[in-house]
A and B are shown apart, each in its own frame.
Chain A
Amino acid sequence: GIQVEQSPPDLILQEGANSTLRCNFSDSVNNLQWFHQNPWGQLINLFYIPSGTKQNGRLSATTVATERYSLLYISSSQTTDSGVYFCAVPSTTGANSKLTFGKGITLSVRP
């Protein structure tokens, strides 16, 4: 099946710093999602981004489908950005909701 790798596994930032999180996937995909899991376990949808670039406030994401990777940018980080960031892609071809998740990137933002 498709493999999803995220890097780095852990990231510690000082409040106000910028960061880039990476997601590599092993096969062609027709969509990709980024999620943020907060310390209470809630998994929040950040971006649905099959290709191209999207921005939402301090966060933006870019997916280069032909090169099989996606990047999540966090600018001017805040302590509330702490948590685990997951990327996920469909496990099989065609329209389906069976997602394969990466192992996640644990982000800690220090005040």
Chain B
Amino acid sequence: KAGVTQTPRYLIKTRGQQVTLSCSPISGHRSVSWYQQTPGQGLQFLFEYFSETQRNKGNFPGRFSGRQFSNSRSEMNVSTLELGDSALYLCASSGSPGGAQHFGDGTRLSIL
């Protein structure tokens, strides 16, 4: 069974640009969550989607948004990028909300 797939693996952007990250969950998993990992703040929750609906949202500005498609694939978008958005962005999927979460390899975003 294929794991969680995140694309791209690495991304370099400049301040003010926007970016879209993609996450394909494990086959059959309908719950997808996103996390941001930085050295200073650690792992922080961004959003949770289940059946195309956002169920939970973390404490991030409105520049961070996401969506989930009918095939459970999810995207997150960050607009007007800032230097502080440089981070490892991790996506996780689970069979149901509250179930064991399995993470992808992440997208490492660098803002110049």
Q: Which residues of A contact B (CB under 8 A)?
A: 30-31, 33, 35, 40-45, 48, 86, 88, 90-92, 94-101, 103-104
Contact = CB atoms under 8 A, between A and B. Distances in A.
B13 interface: no
B90 interface: yes
A97 B98 contact: yes
A97 B31 contact: yes
Contacts of B56: 91-92, 96-98
Interface in B26-63: 31, 33, 35, 42-43, 45, 48, 50, 55-56, 58
27 contacts: A30-B98, A31-B98, A31-B100, A40-B105, A41-B105, A41-B106, A41-B108, A45-B100, A45-B102, A45-B103, A48-B99, A48-B100, A86-B43, A88-B43, A92-B56, A94-B98, A95-B98, A96-B55, A96-B56, A96-B98, A97-B48, A97-B98, A99-B43, A99-B45, A100-B45, A101-B43, A103-B42
A30 B102 CA distance: 18
A70 to B, nearest CB: 14
A30 B55 CA distance: 18
Give chain B's interface secondary structure class: strand
Contacts of B48: 96-98
A98 B105 contact: no
Q: Which 10 A-B pairs have the closest CB atoms?
A: A95-B98, A48-B100, A101-B43, A43-B103, A98-B56, A95-B97, A97-B33, A97-B48, A98-B45, A96-B97
Contacts of A98: 33, 45, 48, 56, 58
